[in-house]
């Protein structure tokens, strides 16, 4: 087999260090690949007015697979203020490069697993029926539609005549918002399409079928957001009858899910949702299995073969400035495991996952979050492992 080429997109802040340690783990596991660097993030917005340069897009087109660290995003006004002086006032507008990447390559299928690692001191614990503490096993895959919905970027402040006139044709807008002066009006759209809603729902069904689960849960709000949430629920129900008769569809509203996931998280295995609600529910479930230090994701397009694998944490820039990095690299490492599984490198993926699980279960080496310490520079002196020490412990298990 030809050696693979992986595009590395460290991005901003802690993305750089967790990606570096992850590559060390991949190499120690024997994954034979060439790594090519791609420019992305805040630095390139400030210098070039584009946080996702065309040269990086070309790398992704050519090599297809990328490991992504993290990016910094800031509100519109702050982004404009940090643009290089020679670029200001020239019409540059900041858009999140990861959102732009998803839309550019139609990376519409996002998988976010939240699975209990035995021995993790951050695992969710509740009081059982007998009053004693119990630790339910969380094993859920969230399928998040990744390119549409509220993150689609179709927005206006002080909308122009065509947009405003179109909005005024809707009785709900005319009755409830016509009073508002147009310069004081901001509008965001929530767009679902049948094609991409069907694709994410089908991906959820296929995963349920592969794992032997007998239901998927649609986590939306169709009783209020009738058109978009209603479309996803209807597609799921019709698909169940026509293609997956052995897998039923459960309908749970996003607000109710926030309650149920802390009462009986073991009841959920496959959840499908739109972009915003998928983001919310995946972060909520991540809190049950250790937080963002353990939260991973894969996003891909089954048609063009492009896939990007990333932890769901942010860039945490204050930690990036510490002399010794203290952040937990497990989320990035397990995102690389998802990449290996995507590439059918199952043996290597399994070895790395097993090594991570052994380190967590053993408990001798723990990052500051696992020790429930505040993320201050001196946590290493309090017994917390540095980012490199966590990676070293995983590598030692591989050997």
pLDDT tens, 122-154? 999 999 999 999 999 999 999 999 999 999 989
Q: Is the pLDDT of residue 318 over 80?
A: yes
pLDDT tens, 269-286? 999 999 999 999 999 999
Which pLDDT score is estimated for 76? 84
Residue 42: both structure tokens together: 């805040």
Which pLDDT score is estimated for 3? 86
According to DSSP, residue 249 is labeled E
Q: Over the chain, what is the mean pLDDT?
A: 96
The pTM of this model reads: 0.94
CA–CA gap between residue 379 and residue 366 (Å, rounded): 11
Closest C-alpha to 265, from 386, 140, 123, 390: 140
pLDDT tens, 179-223? 999 999 999 999 999 999 999 999 999 999 999 999 999 999 999
CA–CA gap between residue 6 and residue 105 (Å, rounded): 16
**Mean pLDDT, residues 230-248:** 98
Lowest mean pLDDT among 93-97, 243-247, 299-303, 382-386: 93-97
Contacting residues for 224 by C-beta, under 8 A, at least 6 apart: none
Q: Is the pLDDT of residue 73 over 90?
A: no
pLDDT tens, 322-370? 999 999 999 999 999 999 999 999 999 999 999 999 999 999 999 999 9
Q: Binning pLDDT at 50, 70 and 90, where does residue 267 land?
A: very high
Q: Is the pLDDT of residue 75 over 90?
A: no
CB 19 within 8 A of CB 6: no
Strands 65-70 and 307-311 turn out to be parallel
What is the per-residue burial (b if ≥16 Cβ within 10 Å, else e) of 180-196? eeeeeeeeeebbbeeeb
* Percent of the chain whose pLDDT exceeds 90: 95
pLDDT tens, 26-59? 999 999 999 999 999 999 999 999 999 999 999 9
Count of helix runs (H) and strand runs (E) in the chain: 15, 14
Residue 212: both structure tokens together: 């032997």
Q: Hey, which residues does 126 pair with through a beta bridge?
A: 134
Q: Is the pLDDT of residue 1 over 60?
A: no
pLDDT tens, 156-174? 999 999 999 999 999 999 9
Residue 60: both structure tokens together: 């992704």
Which pLDDT score is estimated for 25? 98
CB 346 within 8 A of CB 340: yes
Q: Binning pLDDT at 50, 70 and 90, where does residue 235 land?
A: very high
Chain length of the chain: 399
Which pLDDT score is estimated for 387? 98
Q: Where are the domains of the chain?
A: 1-108+306-399, 124-150+196-288, 155-188
Closest C-alpha to 66, from 7, 107, 122: 7
Check: CATH 3.40.50.970 for 1-108+306-399? no
Q: State the CATH architecture for 124-150+196-288.
A: 3-Layer(aba) Sandwich (3.40)
CB 214 within 8 A of CB 246: yes
Q: Is the pLDDT of residue 381 over 70?
A: yes
CA–CA gap between residue 378 and residue 364 (Å, rounded): 19
């Amino acid at each position: 087999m030809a050696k693979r080429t992986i595009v590395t997109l460290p991005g901003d802040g802690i993305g750089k260090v967790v990606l570096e340690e992850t590559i060390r783990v991949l190499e120690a596991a024997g994954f034979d690949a060439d790594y090519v660097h791609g420019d992305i993030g805040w630095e390139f917005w400030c210098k070039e007015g584009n946080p996702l340069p065309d040269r990086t897009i070309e790398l992704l087109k050519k090599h297809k697979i990328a490991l992504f660290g993290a990016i910094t995003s800031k509100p519109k006004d702050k982004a404009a203020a940090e643009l290089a002086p020679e670029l200001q006032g020239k019409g540059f507008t900041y858009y999140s490069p990861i959102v732009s990447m998803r839309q550019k390559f139609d990376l519409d299928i996002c998988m976010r697993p939240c699975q209990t690692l035995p021995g993790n001191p951050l695992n969710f614990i509740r009081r059982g029926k007998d009053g004693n503490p119990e630790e339910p096993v969380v094993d859920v895959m969230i399928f998040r539609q990744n390119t549409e919905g509220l993150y689609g970027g179709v927005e206006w402040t002080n909308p122009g005549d065509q947009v405003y006139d179109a909005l005024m044709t809707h009785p709900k807008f005319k009755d409830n918002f016509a009073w508002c002066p147009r310069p004081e009006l901001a509008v965001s759209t929530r767009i679902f399409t049948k094609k991409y809603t069907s694709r994410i729902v089908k991906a959820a069904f296929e995963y349920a079928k592969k794992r032997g689960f007998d239901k998927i849960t649609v986590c939306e709000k169709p009783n209020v957001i009738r058109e978009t949430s209603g479309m996803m629920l209807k597609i799921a129900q019709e698909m169940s009858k026509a293609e997956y008769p052995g897998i039923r569809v459960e309908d749970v509203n996003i607000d109710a899910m926030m309650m149920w996931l802390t009462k009986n998280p073991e009841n959920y295995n496959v959840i499908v949702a739109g972009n915003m609600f998928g983001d919310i529910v995946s972060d909520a479930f991540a809190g049950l299995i250790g937080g963002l230090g353990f939260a991973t994701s894969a996003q891909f397009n089954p048609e063009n073969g492009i896939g990007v694998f990333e932890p769901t944490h942010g860039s945490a820039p204050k930690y990036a400035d510490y002399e010794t990095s203290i952040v937990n690299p497990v989320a990035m490492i397990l995102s690389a495991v998802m990449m290996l599984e995507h590439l059918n490198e199952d043996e290597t993926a399994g070895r790395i996952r097993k090594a991570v699980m052994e380190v967590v279960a053993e408990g001798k080496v723990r990052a500051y979050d696992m020790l429930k310490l505040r993320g201050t520079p001196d946590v290493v002196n309090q017994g917390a492992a540095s980012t490199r020490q966590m990676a070293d412990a995983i590598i030692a298990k591989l050997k």
